A = this chain, B = another copy of it.
Amino acid sequence: MAAEAEARLPKAAFDYYAGGSGTEWTLAENERAFRRWVFRRRVLVDVSEVDTAVTVLGQRLPFPVLLAPVALQRMAHAEGELATARAAAEAGTTMILSTLSSTTIEDVAATGVDRWFQLYVHRDRGLTGELIDRAVASGYRALVLTVDTPQLGRRDRDERNGFLPPPGVDLAILTSTTGGLSQQTGAGGGSSLFAYFARQCDPSVTWADVEWVRSRAQLPVVLKGVTTAEDARRAADAGVAAVSVSNHGGRQLDGDPATIDALPEVADEVGDRLDVLVDGGVRRGTDVLCALALGAKAVLIGRPQLWGLACGGQAGVGRVLDLLRMDFTLAMRLAGVTSTAAIGRSLVRRAVP
């Protein structure tokens, strides 16, 4: 579907969605790393009934796939985040709305989708507090604090393209306060988003701010972007409800390990204290199965939802979710497991190099 999306989208938009930082090694590694794990499936198990449900942040999901926060979805389709939200609602899963959404917090909430809000802490803490308050007021169930982005990663494609969303698409939640991307003077000579980030977002965020976010929101906090046991332990000590092992889809620090390779150390360290999620490179049901085997409660998908959105709007996102759910169910059957609770470390081993 990526190929069809590429054909449908303007180059700068596709590149923004598809690209990564630096040499794009981490971007490629995220997918490649799944090929370095193999299954130890079991046979002759009655798999006529397979329970794909999981519980994340205390709430049941019908299958362990959430929609990762993705910026500027109206570049992919006129209905943008609304289409995504409706598809998520229909599939019964959770959508994580990006701070860099091209649709407002309130409009997405109006779709009724189960929703979390992803937060970039801005230098303007008043603005940041308002974002939190708006999310709380609009019924978002959790705050996802992205912690791998004190500054935006340098993405050569966006620099070369002088990335700027097309007219009519901008940061819907932020434009009134910050001017949005169209006001970035850097837009002529580089990525407008890189410039926006440098100017508006706060590189000084620390663990103390996690506590601030938590107390302001009175909601569960999810840290997205953890890759080490050390930070995972610290997150648990800080009382966060979940972490997502993430390298921002290979868009931040090039040289980050593949998330599926970083997952085991995080899950081993804190899997009994909080919910461990993972995102990066998940494309197939077998990837989801592998992630759960290595300790994740669920996965977040990013680019696949975008390709669905670009190719078919709400129906396209819905199809991606349906296919992934079906494919995961099939993977469970073929692996001989009947419930997500039964998916454990013994189901996988390293492939022979």
Task: Enumerate chain A interface residues (CB-CB to B < 8 A).
Answer: 22-23, 25, 29, 33-48, 147-151, 153-154, 202-207, 209-210, 223, 225-228, 230-231, 234, 252-258, 261, 283-284, 286, 289-290, 327, 330-331, 333-336, 349, 351-353
Number of copies: 4
B36 touches A330 (CB 8 A): no
Contact assessment for B47 and A204 in the assembled complex, using a CB-CB cutoff below 8 Å: yes
17 contacts across the A-B interface (CB closer than 8 A): A25-B35, A36-B352, A37-B255, A38-B255, A39-B255, A39-B256, A41-B253, A43-B226, A44-B147, A46-B206, A47-B204, A48-B202, A150-B334, A253-B331, A254-B286, A255-B289, A353-B353
| Partner of A327 from B40, B154, B223, B226 at Cβ < 8 Å | B154
Separation of A349 and B228 alpha carbons in the complex (Å)? 11
CA distance A42 to B37 in the complex (A): 26
- Rounded to whole Å, the gap between the CB of A262 and the closest CB of chain B is 9
A249 to chain B, nearest CB (A): 14
Chain B proximity of A35: nearest CB distance (Å): 5
Give me 9 other A-B pairs in contact (C-beta within 8 A), A44-B223, A46-B203, A48-B202 excluded: A39-B256, A42-B228, A43-B231, A44-B147, A44-B209, A45-B150, A45-B206, A48-B204, A253-B286
CB <8 Å contact, B46 and A228: no
Interchain residue pairs A-B with the least CB separation, the first 3: A43-B147, A253-B334, A48-B204
Neighbouring B residues of A349 by C-beta, 8 Å: 257
Give Cα distance in the complex from A204 to B230, angstroms.
Answer: 44
Q: How far is the CA of A23 from the CA of B42 in the complex (A)?
A: 21
- A227→B207 CA distance, assembly (Å): 41
Q: Is A22 a contact partner of B284 (Cβ separation < 8 A)?
A: yes
Q: Give the docked Cα–Cα distance between A234 and B43 (Å).
A: 10
* Residues from chain B with Cβ under 8 Å of A223 in the complex: 43-44
Report the Cα distance A41→B149, complex, angstroms: 12
Query: Least Cβ distance of A206 to chain B in Å?
Result: 5
Q: Which of A45, A334, A351 has the most CB of B within 10 A?
A: A334
Closest to A350 in B: B352
B44 and A256 contact, CB distance less than 8 A:
no
**CB-nearest residue of chain B relative to A349?**
B257
When the two chains form their complex, are residues B352 and A44 in contact, meaning their CB atoms are under 8 A apart?
Answer: no
Q: A45 — which chain B residues lie within 8 A by C-beta?
A: 150, 206
What is the chain B residue whose CB lies nearest that of A207? B44
